[in-house]
């Protein structure tokens, strides 16, 4: 279908983009890779009056090493994440998860910032940023604002970004060499959304897991941390049995959605099984 009529601007600087967005009011929308927004426009489920295209902002693209952490530009595509040497070295799970997103065409156009700002609980990267304790960097008329991933995702397709704010980048703390990681995704076809996804990070020492962080995809209206499982796995032996036992509490406190692909109970079961697998892979068990 052809989208409803809208105005289009392609600013050359972030300040111009922020101003254009503010002038557009409630019915202005930012577009980056367009891999989520364009289908909504074409199906006429969204009717923005104005699209502010970030395509002209080259500075929002790429990865910068800032010492303890990496700052990844919002317009960095999934494809770039998969192939970036800094990402591979310091937060490889982001590359691994980005590699499971949809298909190559989408990965070449879709961006990290777009995926996060869209706030889809079935998207892969939100849960990963949550497990990585990343910080979102947003720019609005009032200047720059930093929002921890834990408070960024508010509800279905809704984030803590104000209407006039643009997500410009993500700051990801570097993982040390003693951390292992794994993104486990269960989906019906290769390019489908995750029915359930699990992002697990585990720190291993002397055959034990000393610390773990687990983010869950599509287990509620926002990505969530499996806190009970994280607590259970801390100090556990790095064996499949011990990790599976800890993963039994992975779905505690979640309210997964029911849809064509599975009932909430089915999703809870998947979360437990996938968390066990992801932790085992992350801890090298």
Partner 1 sequence: MELEHSFTVPVPKNRAWDVLLDVERVAPCMPGATLDSVDGDEIHGRIKVKVGPINMTYAGTARFIEKDAEAGIVTLEATGKETRGAGTASASVRSILEDRGEETHVTVRTTLNVTGKPAQFGRGVLNEVGGRLLGIFANNLAATLAEPDGVGSGPSQAGTAQAATAEPDATGSPESVSAGADGASTPAAGAEGGPNRAAASATAASETPVDDLKLPARAVSSLQRENITTAGQLAAKTEDELLAIDGIGPATVVDISATLADLGLELGRPTAATPTPTEAAASPAAAATPHTSTAREAAHQFEDDAINLLKVAGMPVLKRAIPVIAALTAALLLGLRRRVRRRRT
CA distance 75 to 168: 8
- Looking at the Cβ atoms of 44 and 108, the one nearer to partner 1 is 44
Q: What is the 3-state secondary structure (H, E, C) of 199-259?
A: EEEEEEECCEEEEEEEEEECCCCCCEECHHHHHHHCCCECCHHHHHHHHCCCCCCCCCCCE
- Looking at the Cβ atoms of 123 and 223, the one nearer to partner 1 is 123
Does residue 58 interact with partner 1 by CB under 8 A?
no
Site string for partner 1, 93-112 (x = CB under 8 A): --------------------
Site string for partner 1, 153-172 (x = CB under 8 A): -xxxxx--------------
Q: Which of 34, 57, 58, 24 is nearest to 164 (CA)?
A: 24
Does residue 140 interact with partner 1 by CB under 8 A?
no
Does residue 22 interact with partner 1 by CB under 8 A?
yes
Stretch in the footprint of partner 1 (CB under 8 A) among 34-42, 79-87, 230-238, 269-277: 34-42
Q: How many CB atoms lie within 10 A of CB 260?
A: 6
Q: State the minimum distance, in angstroms, from the CB of residue 11 to partner 1.
A: 15
> DSSP state, 2?
P
Taking CB under 8 A as the criterion, the residue among 26, 67, 146, 190 binding partner 1 is 26
Residues 241-260 that bind partner 1 (CB under 8 A): 257-260
CA atoms 90, 92, 94, 98: torsion sign:
positive
CA distance 47 to 6: 8
- Looking at the Cβ atoms of 129 and 171, the one nearer to partner 1 is 129
CA within 13 Å, CB half, 46: 21
Does residue 1 interact with partner 1 by CB under 8 A?
no
CA distance 275 to 87: 23
> Are the C-beta atoms of 156 and 119 separated by less than 8 Å?
yes
- Looking at the Cβ atoms of 204 and 268, the one nearer to partner 1 is 268
Q: Please report, as ranges, the residues that interact with partner 1 according to CB under 8 A.
A: 4, 22-29, 36-37, 39-40, 43-50, 118-123, 154-158, 192-193, 221, 257-261
């Amino acid at each position: 279908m052809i989208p409803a009529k809208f105005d289009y601007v392609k600013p050359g600087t972030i300040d111009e983009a922020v101003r254009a967005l503010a002038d557009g009011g409630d019915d202005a929308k930012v577009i980056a890779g367009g891999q989520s927004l364009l289908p909504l426009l074409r199906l006429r489920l969204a009717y923005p009056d104005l699209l502010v295209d970030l395509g002209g902002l080259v500075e929002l693209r790429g990865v910068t090493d800032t010492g303890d952490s990496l700052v990844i530009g919002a317009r960095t595509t999934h494809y770039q994440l998969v192939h970036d040497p800094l990402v591979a070295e310091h937060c490889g799970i982001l590359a691994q998860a980005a590699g499971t997103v949809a298909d190559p065409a989408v990965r070449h156009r879709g961006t990290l910032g777009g995926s996060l700002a869209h706030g889809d609980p079935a998207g892969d990267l939100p849960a990963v940023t949550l497990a990585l304790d990343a910080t979102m960097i947003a720019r609005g008329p009032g200047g720059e604002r930093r929002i921890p991933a834990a408070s960024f995702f508010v509800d279905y397709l809704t984030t803590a970004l104000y209407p006039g704010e643009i997500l410009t980048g993500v700051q990801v703390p570097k993982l040390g060499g003693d951390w292992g990681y794994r993104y486990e995704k269960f989906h019906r076809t290769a390019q489908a959304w995750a029915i359930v996804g699990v992002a697990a990070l585990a720190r291993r020492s002397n055959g034990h897991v000393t610390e773990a962080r687990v983010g869950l995809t599509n287990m509620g209206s926002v990505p969530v941390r499996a806190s009970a499982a994280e607590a259970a796995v801390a100090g556990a032996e790095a064996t499949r049995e011990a990790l599976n036992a800890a993963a039994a509490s992975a779905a505690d406190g979640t309210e997964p959605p029911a849809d064509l692909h599975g009932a909430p109970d089915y999703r809870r079961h998947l979360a437990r099984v996938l968390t066990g697998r992801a932790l085992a892979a992350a801890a090298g068990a």
